[in-house]
Chains A and B, each alone.
Chain A
Amino acid sequence: AQSVSQHNHHVILSEAASLELGCNYSYGGTVNLFWYVQYPGQHLQLLLKYFSGDPLVKGIKGFEAEFIKSKFSFNLRKPSVQWSDTAEYFCAAARNSGYSTLTFGKGTMLLVSP
């Protein structure tokens, strides 16, 4: 069965600290990978996505993610977090074939203290 797992349920960082959120997927075949962010009280927004090509993907707000096929991983990184990055982060995957549905991880709640 398809699944996405996020290693950390809660992460607490101070401002300017570096961030890495883990995501592993279990899928047969080629997958498309996504990171979404949900700020408090808001809807999910797409941070970045990987379909093919350069495994290092840059997204909005200074986020990036690296696809490592051998490890079935798609970890999210940011060199220096800000208080405004406090949010819940979701990794998601979909088969790379037509209108495929997204499978989400359980999410990681990031709290950045000023």
Chain B
Amino acid sequence: DSGVTQTPKHLITATGQRVTLRCSPRSGDLSVYWYQQSLDQGLQFLIQYYNGEERAKGNILERFSAQQFPDLHSELNLSSLELGDSALYFCASSVDPDTQYFGPGTRLTVL
């Protein structure tokens, strides 16, 4: 157990819908990262927040957005969902710049 929690574990929804994934970082970690893992693209960095502010952006679609709240938990919002958005979404947190601890992931299935 890494100390990073993610909810829900599984999410099944339809195309065109919007979902919110939640991540609670390890106690004391200020940085939160979101990753998407799919069979064809592998593990891709989406976005990073540090103490409530966006720090870095990766291959995140415009339909996706994220935020980090004052209690440091983070949410990833995915809208206008397409079949290709089906993937595992991981959250990670870190206290130092170099070691990230990953959560168990949310498996999103878009039908």
| Nearest CB on B from A67, distance (A) | 15
Q: Report if A57 contacts B (CB, 8 A).
A: no
Binding site for B on A (CB under 8 A): 32, 36, 42-46, 49, 51, 90, 94, 96, 98-107
Interface SS of chain A: loop
Q: Report if B52 contacts A (CB, 8 A).
A: no
The answer to whether A101 and B45 touch (CB under 8 A), given A43-B105, A44-B102, is: yes
Query: Which residue of the partner chain A has the closest CB to B43?
Result: A104
Compute how far the CA of A106 lies from the CA of B90 in the bound complex, rounded to whole angstroms.
15
Query: Across the interface, which residues of B come within 8 angstroms of A46, CB to CB?
Result: 99-101
Compute how far the CA of A43 lies from the CA of B100 in the bound complex, rounded to whole angstroms.
12
Interface SS of chain B: strand
Query: Across the interface, which residues of A come within 8 angstroms of B35, CB to CB?
Result: 104
| Chain B window 37-48, contacts with chain A (Cβ cutoff 8 Å), 1 for yes, 0 for no | 000001111001
Query: Across the interface, which residues of B come within 8 angstroms of A45, CB to CB?
Result: 2, 102
A-B contact count (CB 8 A): 53
Neighbour of B50 across the interface among A99, A102, A103, CB < 8 A: A99
Query: Across the interface, which residues of B come within 8 angstroms of A42, CB to CB?
Result: 104
| Nearest CB on A from B1, distance (A) | 9
- Asked if B90 contacts A43 (CB within 8 A), the reply is yes
The answer to whether A49 and B99 touch (CB under 8 A), given A43-B105, A101-B33, A101-B56, is: yes
6 more contacts with CB within 8 A, not counting A43-B102, A46-B100, A104-B42, are A42-B104, A45-B102, A99-B48, A102-B100, A104-B35, A104-B43
Query: Which residue of the partner chain A has the closest CB to B31?
Result: A99
Q: Report if B58 contacts A (CB, 8 A).
A: yes
Residue with the greatest number of chain B CB neighbours at <10 A, chosen from A36, A101, A107: A101
Query: Across the interface, which residues of A come within 8 angstroms of B44, CB to CB?
Result: 104
Query: Which residue of the partner chain A has the closest CB to B55?
Result: A99
Query: Which residue of the partner chain A has the closest CB to B102?
Result: A44
- Asked if B43 contacts A90 (CB within 8 A), the reply is yes
